[in-house]
Structure 1
Amino acid sequence: MIKKVLQYIVLGLAVYAAIVMLVINFYKDDPQAMIWQDREAFNKRFISKLKPDQALSINEVLETLGSPDLTYVKKQPDKTLQIVYYRTQLVKPDGITTQDECTGLLFDNGKLILWGPAASVAYEKAL
């Protein structure tokens, strides 16, 4: 009897571990479904992992992070600069997302070229 109970417990733990591993490995985070604190941390973690030689497109960023909190575009006939802002730190708990609570990602013709404070500076000076 005790042996059978132990077998069920071990089997249950094995099934539980298998389900946990499947969720961890195959469940994609959805920023739109997160509460604001989790989304903020998710955005910050994603942006902190960006590397200069990583040629991300705006579509790849939008697919991962979802809709930006703020976005601005400057267009010329041969060039389009777009900066998107994702909230990464709460400054004032007023329910309004402002630029100082966000990290900017600057795209030149749809390709990521800069992020962080340098992105905002470069966007303001451009065109």
Structure 2
Amino acid sequence: MKLTPLLWFIVGVAGYCLATAAVLFFYPDNPAQMNWQDREAFNAKIIHRLQASDSTPHRIKQEALIARLGSPDITEAYQHNNQVYQLLYYRTHRKAADGITTADECTALLFIDRQLSAIGDSAIARYQEWQPHAGIVE
């Protein structure tokens, strides 16, 4: 049986779609292997998705987010009233081409007892609310 050019085209498109689907499902993005521009865009995309959903923050565990985004660029933490507050900064935009990542080039994620509690400026504000009291026994 001889295949017509149209049939070859359909077979080719189907093969391309299958190969693309296999790559997307079996080779997930790995932030550790990305260059800094790709990782920055990847971080911004994932964090933007988190911000877009109002109900998401309280369901996200720290381990799951670190598994998805990789290690944070900057980390701060303290313990207060038997709760652990961790502020993880992921770089999402570059301000200066100096090779140094600073907090103002990152988006902050606040975890309280390893549960995502706030994102962005509100995460920093909530973290700093209790930080002056950290280490003081009441």
TM over 0.5: yes
* 74-83 or 9-18, which deviates more: 9-18
1:23 and 2:23 equivalent? Answer: yes
Residue in structure 2 matched with residue 96 of structure 1 by the alignment: 100
- DSSP 3-state at the match of 2:96: coil
* 29-38 or 16-25, which deviates more: 16-25
Residue in structure 2 matched with residue 62 of structure 1 by the alignment: 66
Looking at structure 2, the residues matched to 78 and 31 of structure 1 have their Cα atoms a distance apart, in angstroms, of 32
C-alpha RMSD of matched pairs (Å): 1.8
Mapping of 1:64-83 within 5 angstroms? 64-76=68-80, 78-83=82-87
1:107 and 2:97 equivalent? Answer: no
Residue in structure 1 matched with residue 38 of structure 2 by the alignment: 38
Matched to 1:58, the amino acid is Q
Deviations 1:85-104 (A, max 9, x none): 00001000111000000000
Looking at structure 2, the residues matched to 91 and 18 of structure 1 have their Cα atoms a distance apart, in angstroms, of 40
Looking at structure 1, the residues matched to 21 and 64 of structure 2 have their Cα atoms a distance apart, in angstroms, of 26
- DSSP 3-state at the match of 1:49: helix
Q: Which runs of no fewer than 5 residues in structure 2 stay unpaired?
A: 134-138
Identity of aligned residues (%): 38
TM-score, reference length from structure 1:
0.87
Q: Which runs of no fewer than 5 residues in structure 1 stay unpaired?
A: none
- DSSP 3-state at the match of 1:85: strand
Matched to 1:93, the amino acid is A
Question: How far has the Cα of 1:11 moved from its partner?
Answer: 3.9
